[in-house]
Amino acid sequence: MAAARMARGGRAYSGRVIPQSFDSVDGWRTPSPRLLTLRRLEVVGTALVLAIVGGVIAALGAVVWGLAVLATAAVLGVLVERTLKQRFSAWGYLERADDLLVRRGVLFSRLSVVPYGRMQFVDVTAGPLERSFGLATVRLHTAAAASDARIPGLDRTEAARVRDQLAELGEAHLAGL
Amino acid sequence: MTTTTPQQQDWQRLHPLSAVVRGGKLTIALAVVLVPSILLGRENASHGLWDLGAVAILTTLAFISWLVTRWRLDGDDLQIETGLIRRHSERYPLSQLQAIDIVRPGLARMIGVAELRLRIGGSTGAHARLAYLSERDAVPLRDQLLDLASQARRDEPRAPEPATAAAEHLLLAELPTGRLVVSMLLSGVGIVAVLVAVALIATAAVSTRAAVAAISIAGVWILTAGQLVWHRFNQGYRFSVSDTPDGLLLHGGLVALTTETIRPGRVQAVRMVEPLFWRPFGWCRLELDVAGRQKRKGEGREAGRRLRAALPVGTHQLAEELLDRLLPDRPRGALEPPPPRVRWKSPLRYRKLGWSRTRTCVVTRSGRFRRVTCWVPLGKVQSFREVQGPVQRLLDLASVHLDTAGGNVHAILRDRAALEASSALVELVDDARAARAAA
């Protein structure tokens, strides 16, 4: 195992073999593909609303303005749609022995590391849209307000598993402030 | 007191005059309005009756609020109950105690009472307030609470009782009033205040009417600024730091006296700020971050963000001595500078950026005009974040954030080479795990 890790570019540090960087670690999981469908639906919905507004404006007589709103809706919709897939595939999480890793973002890429011992509580939320897709968001809270560990679009059963797993590991690793 | 069997005390009440102090300015205003009219003005009997009625109602309310508020020590918990119609019972575990403050506003000092404020760690950052207690009881109660707290946490053995009382309080630093005044004049608010005063005098010399108009227009601002300056002066006046077995003792104040005790090992992060105008004097401010300092409801932005200054203004040498005591394992020596290409992204910050570390402590430095240095013990870090923005990606840079429970000190390894950042993140996470295990 250690040899295999070394072969992938790991190195020895503090007596343990640690990876060169967290990106080279295997085992990253991704949210459910239904999250992508959900996000697409949201974009289409917003574009549709804008288009209707445009149509109403055009019908009321200001044809140029109405068409302008329609065109903007179409262009924005297409642009956002194109980045959705990238943004979706940027999401990832990895449960290690001592900490949880969450990565996200395309323009601003972020990688959060939250040690289980620092976790104060875990909550699972699901909005109406998410619920109709059978999805849920898991969020980790630490004593630091700046901590930002959120995994959206998890399958409901997976969300429950992650929550229980985190709660159990948090209990085992708990450290005082 | 050496046994750990849960002891349940009887319920106790606060000082009967608490409501008078809690009313604060309102009480003073009421006294100013009512006392002369009751003592002298008896020309209108019904008017006097109204006044008496108001006083009676307020007194009754104050009496009821005193009657329904009670507290007790229950084992390792402090329990406070308030409320007449909606009963509110709170339990504060002393094992989570981060710091205790004794606060004595001017009015409280006149009556001889003091407020005990317990800072409890946690995501909500709750405060347990006992306002107000008799001055005589406040200090013994604080010592008792600190005792209980350290017994509740077995991993912090208490130092053996010192032979003399003098050995208990080791004075680390004192703040001369002259230095406080100069430092305030050289701060942002101070310079603005001086400029405004000069401008007003100049205007008055030309035309008195214009000056009066200016004052009436900007009156609120001037008043606010004055309050801020006064507040700072009041806090920093005769400020002293000393080391006691119970932790770091910060004491100061002119009208309102504050005594804060920060328990050992409860400092989440330390920050040293060197404003531009202080640099000729070689002065700096040293601030401590303790858990539970997030902004809360009813607390202004300024109050929420304010850190405990362990040294409101002091020389570098003094700051170093304090740092030695707070973080003996901190990294010393020169910091590692960022790669030269950072100049394109952060031209103002470039010269100040840097970081260094030991196996248990990280130091980072940044700031555009003022230099800000942050120390974070790795065992206290709540989470790590590696962030790369679009400009950073262009230059192959990345930043690593260290999030701490205080929320006011932002230790950031800003603009490092991307490779350095990602390997630093891995190593810091590993070292933090070891530091937590050792704690």
Q: From CA A7, how far away is CA B40, in angstroms rounded?
A: 94
State the Cα–Cα distance between residues B353 and B340, nearest whole angstrom: 11
What pLDDT does B9 receive? 77
Interface test with A, best of B382, B410, B419 (most A CBs within 10 A): B382
Encoding tokens for residue B400?
A: 């690593």
Q: What is the DSSP letter of A19?
A: -
Q: Sheet with B97-104: list strands edge to edge.
A: B127-134, B113-120, B97-104, B257-262, B247-252, B240-244, B170-174
Q: Could you give the CA distance from residue B137 to residue B114 in angstroms, rounded to a whole number? A: 9
Q: Which of B268, B401, B430 sits opposite A14 (nearest CB)?
A: B430
Is the pTM higher than 0.90? The answer reads no
Q: Cα separation of B238 and B337, whole Å? A: 38
Query: Which residues on chain A are in Cβ contact (under 8 Å) with B427?
Result: 13, 18
In terms of DSSP bridges, do strands B354-357 and B361-366 run parallel, antiparallel, or are they unpaired?
antiparallel
**Cβ distance of B410 and A120 shorter than 8 Å:** no
In SS3 terms, chain B reads as CCCCCCCECCCEECCCCHHHHHHCHHHHHHHHHHHHHHHCCCCCHHHHHHHHHHHHHHHHHHHHHHHHCEEEEECCEEEEEECCCCCEEEEEEHHHEEEEEEEECHHHHHHCEEEEEEEECCCCCCEEEEEEEEHHHHHHHHHHHHHHHHHHCCCCCCCCCCCCHHHHCEEEEECCHHHHHHHHHCCHHHHHHHHHHHHHHHHHHHCHHHHHHHHHHCHHHHHHHHHHHHHHHHHHCCCEEEEECCEEEEEECCCCEEEEEECCCCEEEEEEEECHHHHHHCEEEEEEEECCCCCCCCCCHHHHHCCEEEEEEEEHHHHHHHHHHHCCCCCCCCCECCCCCHHHHCCCCCCCCEEEECCCEEEEEECCCCEEEEEEEHHHCCEEEEEECHHHHHCCEEEEEEECCCCCCCEEEEEEEHHHHHHHHHHHHHHHHHHHHHC
Q: Is B7 on the interface with A (CB under 8 A)?
A: no
Residue A38: predicted pLDDT: 92
Query: Which 8-state DSSP code applies to residue A24?
Result: G
Contacts of B422 in chain A (CB under 8 A): 20-23
- Interchain contact, B436 vs A13, CB within 8 Å: no
Q: In terms of Cα–Cα distance, which of A146, A140, A135, A142 is closest to A165?
A: A140
CA distance B373 to chain A (A): 19
pLDDT the model gives residue B295: 46
Would you call B433 and A98 a contact, using CB atoms and an 8 Å cutoff?
A: yes
CA–CA separation, A24 and B132 (whole Å): 58
Cis peptide, bond prior to residue B132, ω within 30 of zero: yes
CB atoms within 10 A of CB B214: 16
Contacts of A121 in chain B (CB under 8 A): 123
Residue A5 pLDDT: 47
Distance CA B240, CA B14 (A): 29
Query: Is B399's Cβ below 8 Å from some Cβ in A?
Result: no
Q: Which of A100, A111, A141 to mutate to test the interface with B (most CBs of B within 10 A)?
A: A111
- E strands, chain A, where? 11-13, 16-18, 92-95, 99-104, 109-115, 119-125, 135-142, 149-155
pLDDT at B119: 83
The residue type of B188 is: G
- Alpha carbon distance B334, B329 (integer Å): 15
Q: pLDDT value at position B384?
A: 95
In chain B (439 residues long), the average pLDDT of successive 10-residue segments reads: 56 86 78 71 65 83 88 87 84 85 87 87 68 88 88 53 53 87 83 83 84 80 80 85 86 86 86 90 89 50 57 90 89 92 93 93 92 93 94 95 84 93 94 88
A16 and B404 within 8 Å at the Cβ level: the answer is: no
**How close B83 gets to chain A, by Cα (Å)?**
29
Q: What is the DSSP letter of A170?
A: H
- Which segments of chain A have a pLDDT < 70? 1-10, 14-15, 177
Q: Alpha helix (H) ranges present in A60-155?
A: 63-90, 128-132
CB-based contact A87:A106 (threshold 8 Å): yes
